Amino acid sequence: MSRILALDYGAKRTGVALSDPTGTLASPLPYLETQPFRKFFGKLKEIIRTQEVEVILVGLPRNMDGSYGASAAAVREFVTRLKEVIILDIQLVDERLSTVQASRLLHEAGHNTREQKERVDSASAQVLLQSFLDARQRSS
């Protein structure tokens, strides 16, 4: 079975998470430095190839009132660039509160603030992906 990759895009770091082959469990991967883009895309392509990824989810930040801000515009631009170099199904998904939830989970797991900073991007991608997987399981 194929895997789903989730990205929590940031100007400096992009969080990465990967589903298991059954599409049940999301696991964080080390974040990727977003700049320079050429290096970022090279590493991303390697993950896609080695992990047999067929779908990419990209978190789209929304304000609590449902509107989109500057961060959403940056994500849309990122996805446009991504689609130019990667020929896969790329979906935008609502990521409201994923970073808050990821920070809470890391804190509950005993990670201090410094450790959280290094892990929160991929933990956010993991929360995003796990929510997607759970919703898909409920609907089937």
Helix-, strand-, coil-residue percentages of the chain, each rounded to 5: 50, 25, 25
pLDDT of residue 102: 47
CA distance 57 to 95: 10
Q: What is the domain-level CATH number for residue 72? A: 3.30.420.140
Is-cis flag, bond preceding 30, omega within 30?
no
**Residue 3 forms beta bridges with which residues?**
53
Q: Looking at the 3D structure of the chain, how many domains does it have? A: 1
Report pTM: 0.84
**Please, what sign has the CA dihedral across residues 133, 71, 75, 116?**
negative
- What is the extent of the structural domain holding 53? 3-139
The angle at the Cα of 78, spanning 137 to 87, to the nearest 5 degrees, equals 65
29-88 pLDDT, tens digit per residue, is 999 999 999 999 999 999 999 999 999 999 998 877 778 888 899 999 999 999 998 999
Dump pLDDT digits (tens) for 122-133. Answer: 888 998 999 899
Residues written for the chain:
140
Confirm if 125 and 10 have CB atoms less than 8 A apart.
Answer: no
